Amino acid sequence: MFTPVLSTASDNGNELNVAQPATHVTNGVAKGTGMGVAKGTGMGVAKGTGMGVAKGTRMGVARGSGLDADQEVVQDSQGNTYQTVQIGGQIWLAENLRTTTFQDGTKVNTGFIPDDDEKNLLPYGRLYDWHDVVDERNICPPGWRVASDNDWKALERAIGIAEPEVNKEGWRGQNDIAITLKAHQPNTVFKEFDQSQVNKYQFSARPAGVKLGNWYLTQGMYSEFWTSSSAAKKEAYARTLAYSWWNSHKGEIRRTTLKKSYMLSVRCVKN
């Protein structure tokens, strides 16, 4: 599909990253690979295999895969299964949410696959507006909730963001802390990253981009995650990770507010 060339926009002073059309080769993984697990796991389960994993199942992982051998796998109400990871005192989904239903089986209003391409479902998950995120029917698997602004702050403290920065808005973090949450972060012409720190916490963030109205934007350039925390009547808190070679914030995590109508990725936390 055609993607417009847009400048970095600002809504009431809140930056939304929509600069330049997105590339479809993301962090070293070509679009459509269907890779929904961390780099190096060797785990490839094709969509539609019918492999059901019961909630709370602990799945054995081959030695050297980089995942915990007792990694818990959870299942949402639609039957999608997700790897999980413990960071600090919290247990998070290690993949972006993919469901199109709430816990009671009713349909969500959004939940779009980036570029409407089924091949993007496993690596990137779906994009939801904030109203689906906070619907009382609960979009997360049973026993889980959409991560709040405070949940994200707890994660940020656990990975080493200094307390004075945690409550600030904007780009935060030192020593390329953001790469410890990313599935991939290639070196660039301008900067080399300590690859041993990439995806250190097995959070496996991938840049699904955003959807604004009918437009899919910034795939391959940004991960944008909703929180369940409202900031104003029309805005809510979100988190951003940057990936593009030209972006100087690749090592930082942005705390910001975005319009509730925007469609972003979602991560859930265990209750």
pLDDT at 160 over 50: yes
Report the C-alpha gap between 141 and 58 in whole angstroms.
16
Q: Tell me what pLDDT residue 70 has.
A: 61
How large is the average pLDDT for residues 150-157?
A: 98
Report the C-alpha gap between 72 and 85 in whole angstroms.
8
- Domain borders along the chain are 69-270
In 10 A of CB 135, how many CB atoms?
Answer: 16
Q: Tell me what pLDDT residue 200 has.
A: 97
Q: Tell me what pLDDT residue 261 has.
A: 98
How large is the average pLDDT for residues 226-255?
A: 97
Question: What token pair was written down for 199?
Answer: 């995806």
pLDDT at 23 over 60: no
Q: Tell me what pLDDT residue 57 has.
A: 43
Of 91, 81, 76, nearest to 142 (Cα)?
Answer: 76
Question: What token pair was written down for 221?
Answer: 């350039």
